[in-house]
Structure 1
């Protein structure tokens, strides 16, 4: 790993984060989001977690708009922090008017002079005392009248880009967007907004204020990640290949083996910026090994452990100071409970999707502490019951080496694999059916327990029961006991660390007996074993 690798690391560190001032090294169209859709003449909201490519999509859309001669205005919502809706609107109105006046240049058309006067009026309002909502409403109507004379299909088109909108106060978002939409009403002017969905309130139904999806604006969702690992790996490696080419290197396999490339997809959750940062950090970790020639699977695990700190910093930036400790507590309890029964993946019952605990889980997913891997999973033994399936972020069960004794899902060559960590030759490549069957054995998260102040164990039951058609018994690790009812062939899973009372969760008339001499457990039913 020589000079070219040094160049690659520098490039990844410098260019993995996109902004209007620093576009992508080269835009790679995400198969999950059409660039053509993002450039359509409609108001649009681009949703996605941090790092999925929202800004990159907006920047490329802006480049194409400017290529076609359109007027563009760009703001990052971080500059609106602390502004009321009216103050934020005046800031954007000033930006829009400045942009249009600059675009038309020295034109002597009467409307241009009127726009310059309107711009001066907005500047005076911003420099003065607090402006009443009545004055702002009148200003919206006046500016809209001016813009309708300029922003016409036979003259000019304006595209307003608002990045990181989730950084603006959620309770003011709908009011602000309502003012901006009114400003551009009946004009050839369009809003393109990027945000995190669960931190965004673009419309208030009770007052009918804001932008309502899909009536007023269309939604572009970039949040589909590991549900199709093959598509995710192909896309991410195409993005990485441009960085490697710029550093004068060959394909992505030149310094990383196939196992590590698959694990990078898992560790990143399919998020491009996380993927690039993890690749860079994996190189750093690999260099700590003597004569390392390529990135290995354990190097990615080490890099994932290092990334946990940056994700927790993101959490503190994205949520209030009061909410941050409660989310971290929920994450700790969720992670401990799932790993405590020997798993790294888990299920959530559809029936719990409307309770507050689901919002907590969704926030943790937005912050990349867990990843959705199956949006709908049936229950073979309970018709009508459905689950979502998730996997913990790799950073939650690794530091330097992957924790031992866990049932682990991994990705290799764009397909799912399953193995038991710390045990050789247990890797199984899973077909679609085998993958879903594995997920059906995962513990179920009880979202009612996940909310602030809930118990340490946040799983639905202390004993997990599954029917195994072959009657096999799987011994997961030293903390998990697996017993089979000889009569029904039903399998029961118990966690010693979470529930010392092994009988909890068993059907009536059944219990567990522990042999005091050897610690073996036996499943007992009334009338014999």
Structure 2
């Protein structure tokens, strides 16, 4: 019978297995259509896909990569997780070597690629960065020529760079790749967290200039487009429910659960999957017939610890200053104002505002409105919400006045009443 107690363990086992696999392998959930982004990513052009963790960046790249595999067209995929934290020039050598190795199966350029690979292997042992840079510049025409043979034979060649934000010298790295690909029927498909990506260095004049050299695709709707976020997350959960012989995910949810799930997960698909899976586990333990809002809250509280750990990986250098700003915001919201949402003046040159942008990228703060003028004309503010994990457990903290409780269109009147967090 649909919706009874026996339904929960069935879907629970499936979701737990999948979510654990995604988490351990750092994979994204199954790809679902996102506002025509498929056609953009498949076009002959360079693209940078932006989004926070779990927004579907890798999933979109993988969607196109699997299409190329089915059509037996050439491509190379580089997961930058392998090179996380690297700032030496040799990261370029290692990535080029990985690309060449993957492309050697396309026999049309096996001899040329073999020669290039040998030179790269010899260069990999060089310790002097200046010599490496000089040798890479000399090698680029040969690499470019070898890859051009593959692109010419098949009509095109695609190189996927997943999570480029994990390395430090991004403009230098991208400059070498772009020099090989430009006007060569070779196209770059790159993903990264926007707040941690710098594609171009104007002083060195190196890298990818947007939008001339590469176009942007943004996947992170967060809570500024609540209806689209909800529909996207529901479509993913519905796919899993149907796999388990259920009509849709609503049959496992109590009143208001889906709305609260989207709001608590801030519209991030992977976060929603993780939270819902944990909530199912709690509901099964409590012998509930359906997932409850209290289970959603408890799962969100557990998840915040994982987000804090991600901070160490995504922020280069000392993360103590960012943690300090987070603690100030938490105290401002929970202890002082007792509200979970607030305004911050948009000052891109301000150090604290830059750190707040990093907290948004880490999914510890969530954008609910990108720009509002609550008081004096000419001063614009961004509306943010502190992650639910900081003030919910089995139930939301009674001392905190929750700003909305479900995804819906916001009014200017509601936003103007929010407290302003001082940047000084």
Same fold (TM over 0.5): yes
The two structures have a TM-score, normalised by structure 2, of 0.91
C-alpha distance in structure 2 between counterparts of 1:160 and 1:132, whole Å: 22
For residue 270 of structure 2, the aligned residue among 270, 273, 288 is 273
2:141 is paired with a residue whose SS is helix
C-alpha distance in structure 2 between counterparts of 1:305 and 1:377, whole Å: 30
For residue 213 of structure 1, the aligned residue among 199, 210, 213 is 210
Pairing of 1:117-266 with structure 2 (within 5 A)? 117-127=115-125, 130=128, 131-152=131-152, 155-169=154-168, 172-266=169-263
Q: How many residues align?
A: 416
Give CA deviations for 1:234-269 in whole Å, capped at 9, x if unaligned: 110001111112223331111112411111011101
For residue 365 of structure 2, the aligned residue among 350, 362, 370 is 370
**Native 8 Å contact 2:252 2:291 kept in 1:** yes
Cα pair distance change 1:70/1:36, threshold 3 Å = same
Structure 2 gaps, min length 5:
none
Measured after TM superposition, the shift of residue 390 of structure 1 is 1.3
Give CA deviations for 1:24-44 in whole Å, capped at 9, x if unaligned: 66421123x611111111111
Cα pair distance change 1:186/1:383, threshold 3 Å = closer
Cα pair distance change 1:43/1:357, threshold 3 Å = same
**Native 8 Å contact 1:344 1:408 kept in 2:** yes
Measured after TM superposition, the shift of residue 7 of structure 1 is 3.9
C-alpha distance in structure 2 between counterparts of 1:18 and 1:267, whole Å: 20
Q: Which has the higher contact order (CA 8 A, sep 6+)?
A: 2
Higher-Rg member (1/2)? 1
1:374 is paired with a residue whose SS is strand
Give CA deviations for 1:189-234 in whole Å, capped at 9, x if unaligned: 1111111111111110111101111111111112321112111111
Measured after TM superposition, the shift of residue 400 of structure 1 is 2.3
Structure 1 gaps, min length 5:
417-431, 449-529
Measured after TM superposition, the shift of residue 52 of structure 1 is 0.6
1:46 is paired with a residue whose SS is strand
**Native 8 Å contact 1:278 1:304 kept in 2:** yes
Give CA deviations for 1:299-330 in whole Å, capped at 9, x if unaligned: 2111111111111111122224621x332222
Measured after TM superposition, the shift of residue 2 of structure 1 is 5.0
- Cross-structure match for 1:403: 397
**Native 8 Å contact 1:265 1:411 kept in 2:** no
- Cross-structure match for 1:508: none
- Cross-structure match for 2:384: 390
For residue 343 of structure 1, the aligned residue among 339, 356, 360 is 339
- Cross-structure match for 1:424: none
Cα pair distance change 1:355/1:2, threshold 3 Å = same
Cα pair distance change 1:398/1:193, threshold 3 Å = same
The two structures have a TM-score, normalised by structure 1, of 0.73
C-alpha distance in structure 1 between counterparts of 2:357 and 2:331, whole Å: 18
- Cross-structure match for 1:468: none
- Cross-structure match for 1:68: 71
For residue 318 of structure 2, the aligned residue among 319, 322, 329 is 322
Q: Which has the higher helix share?
A: 2
Pairing of 1:12-27 with structure 2 (within 5 A)? 12-16=15-19, 26-27=30-31
